[in-house]
Structure 1
């Protein structure tokens, strides 16, 4: 794309990579423009739906400890290893 933009607007290449890249404009047919997009046959979905379990069969998610408890545990660990900690 960059090479085509440089070609179209008469710009110098920015890098060696785009200077040696192929120009996409050489592959496009600007004389015979197709105004309609091609139509494609979209295949049907062949997969089966996932089974739905009743709500009673699902266990509630485990409760996560609060952020405060996490920091309290970290403070206690630091104190046990001899670090001076405020609070």
Structure 2
């Protein structure tokens, strides 16, 4: 999700990592300046991650940010296939 207020932006993403934890990534900055930052919050459940995103959304609305609809493409990678092949090669 992308949020914007004037030239300031705030991007929130939620995804599951390879070990099953849910990660909420926050990136923020200003389009006219080079100062930006990011942080990550690790959650052990989907529900906890969604609560984190919901709280961030409430805070951004209260600060005057508005949601900007943007289409993002989620790339799918089949890591399980590579991990299986790697494990089999180690057994040989």
TM-score interval (norm. to shorter): under 0.3
Q: Which one has a bigger Cα radius of gyration? A: 1
- Normalised by the length of structure 1, the TM-score is 0.24
Greater helix share, structure number: 1
**RCO greater where, 1 or 2, for CA within 8 Å and sep 6 or more?**
2
- Normalised by the length of structure 2, the TM-score is 0.22
